[in-house]
Amino acid sequence: MASYLQIENISKSYGPKVLFEKIGFNINEGDKIALIAPNGTGKTSLMRILAGKDKSDSGGKIMFLKDIKIAFLEQDYPFDPEKTIFDQIMSSSVEFTSGLDQEHVWEYERRVIKFLTNFNLPDPYQLMKQLSGGEVKRVALTQMLASEAEFFIMDEPTNHLDIDAIEFLESYLGRSRCTLLMVTHDRYFLDRVCNTVMEMDHGAIYTYKGNYQNFLEKREERIANYNAETDKVRNILRRELEWIRSTPCARTGKARYRINAFYDLKDRASQVYTQKQVSMEAVKGGTRLGTKIINCKDLSFYYGDKCYLDGFTYNFQRYEKVGIVGRNGAGKSTFLNILTGRFFEDDPGIMTGVIERGESLKIGYYHQSGMSFNPDDTVLDIVNDTWLLNRFLFPHEMLNNKVEKLSGGERRRLYLLTILMQQPNLLILDEPTNDLDIVTLNILEEYLKEFGGSLIIVSHDRHFLDKLVDHLFIFCGDGLVKDFVGSYSEYREYIKEYEAEQRSAARAQEKAEKERAAKEAARSAAPSDAPVKKKKLTYKEQKELEQIERDLEALEAEKKDLEDQLGSGVLPFDRLQEVSERIGRILEETDEKEMRWLELTEDM
93: domain CATH number is 3.40.50.300
Low-confidence winner among 96-105, 153-162, 450-459 (lowest mean pLDDT): 96-105
User: Residue 276 domain-assigned?
Assistant: no
Asked if residue 72 and residue 192 are part of one domain, the reply reads yes
Q: Residue 255 sits in which domain range?
A: 217-269
Closest CA to 158 of 427, 461, 371, 385: 461
Count other C-beta atoms under 10 Å from residue 48's C-beta.
Answer: 18
Within this chain, do residues 417 and 521 fall inside the same structural domain, yes or no?
no
Q: Is the pLDDT reported for residue 115 higher than 60?
A: yes
Report how far Cα 450 is from the mean position of its chain's Cα atoms. 25
Q: Is 379 within a domain?
A: yes
Query: In terms of domains, do 259 and 298 share one?
Result: no
Distance, CA of 348 to CA of 506 (rounded, Å): 43
Residue-level pLDDT at 142: 96
pLDDT of 463-512, one tens digit each? 999 999 999 999 998 999 999 999 999 998 888 888 888 888 888 888 88
Kindly provide the b/e burial profile for residues 241-278, where b requires at least 16 CB atoms within 10 angstroms of the residue's own CB: eeeeeeeeeeeeeeeeeeeeebeebeeebeeeeeeeeb
Residue 536 amino acid letter = K
Would you give the DSSP letter of residue 127?
B
249 and 383 both lie in a single domain: no
What residues does 66 pair with on adjacent strands? none
For residues 211 and 520, the model is more confident at 211
Q: Is the dihedral of CA 175, 181, 184, 190 positive or negative?
A: positive
274 in any annotated domain:
no
How confident is the model over 226-273, as pLDDT tens digits?
A: 778 777 767 776 776 776 667 665 455 556 666 666 666 666 666 666
Residue 361 Cα to chain centre, angstroms: 33
400 within a domain of the structure (yes/no): yes
Q: Indicate the residue among 212, 235, 260 that finishes a domain.
A: 212
The predicted structure's pLDDT at residue 597 = 81
Same domain, 116 and 244: no
> What's the pLDDT tens digit per position in 363-386?
999 987 767 788 889 999 999 988
Same domain, 517 and 548: no
Q: Are 141 and 203 in the same domain? A: yes
Interacting residues of 443 by C-beta distance below 8 A, sequence separation 6+: 277, 278, 280
Say if 275 falls within a structural domain: no
287 and 344 part of one domain: yes
CATH number for the domain spanning 596: value is 1.10.287
**Structurally, how many domains does the chain consist of?**
5
In this structure, the answer to whether residues 435 and 344 fall within a common structural domain is yes
In a domain, 94, yes or no: yes
User: Does residue 341 sit within a domain?
Assistant: yes
Backbone dihedral angles phi then psi of residue 206, each to the nearest 5 degrees:
-130, 140
Is residue 604 situated within a structural domain?
Answer: yes
Residue 227: CB atoms within 10 Å: 13
Contact yes or no for 438/36 (Cβ under 8 A): yes
Do 309 and 261 fall into the same domain?
no
> Given 171, 186, 212, which residue is the final one in a domain?
212
User: Based on the domain organization, do 309 and 362 belong to the same domain?
Assistant: yes
Mean pLDDT for 295-300 is 95
* pLDDT tier for residue 70 given thresholds of 50, 70 and 90: very high
pLDDT interval class at 276 (50, 70, 90): low
Q: Do residues 496 and 522 both lie within one domain? A: yes
Asked if residue 534 has pLDDT above 60, the reply is: no
Q: Is the pTM of this model over 0.75?
A: no
Please write the tens of the pLDDT for every residue from 386-406.
Answer: 888 888 888 888 899 898 888
Residue 52 predicted with pLDDT over 90: no
